[in-house]
């Protein structure tokens, strides 16, 4: 099992280092997901904090709907950041 994982890591590292477009695409996905997910999270945090200062039932309801809707963007972005980060890390590793 360990040997097959090592072989897979070495294979990916060789492919990653030999194909600049793959490396560039993964780095782009990583940065884009950080910007989109992080920007959405910051915007929603601002909405929630603004609602906390001037709390009415309508504002709370709208803020909670926005917060729930933001998860559709933030969670997949976090998954892309994690996956692309792992791919970049093992792309530079040699077992």
pLDDT digits (tens, 9 = 90+) for 20-48: 999 999 999 999 999 999 999 999 999 88
Residue among 52, 35, 44, 33 at smallest CA distance from 69: 44
Average pLDDT, integer, range 1-17: 89
Buried/exposed 13-47: b ≥16 CB within 10 Å, e otherwise: beebeeeeeebeebeebbeebbebbeebbeebeeb
pLDDT value, residue 36: 97
Look up the pTM and report it. 0.83
Q: What's the pLDDT band for 70 if we cut at 50, 70, 90?
A: very high
Give the Cα separation of 81 and 4 in Å (integer): 25
């Amino acid at each position: 099992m360990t040997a097959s994982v090592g072989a897979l890591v070495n294979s990916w590292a060789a492919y990653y280092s030999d194909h600049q477009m793959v490396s560039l695409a993964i780095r782009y996905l990583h940065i884009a997901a950080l910007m989109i997910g992080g920007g959405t999270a910051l915007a929603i945090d601002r909405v929630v904090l603004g609602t906390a200062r001037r709390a009415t039932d309508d504002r709370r309801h709208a803020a909670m709907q926005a917060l729930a809707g933001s998860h559709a963007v933030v969670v997949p972005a976090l998954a892309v950041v994690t996956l692309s980060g792992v791919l970049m890390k093992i792309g530079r590793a040699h077992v």
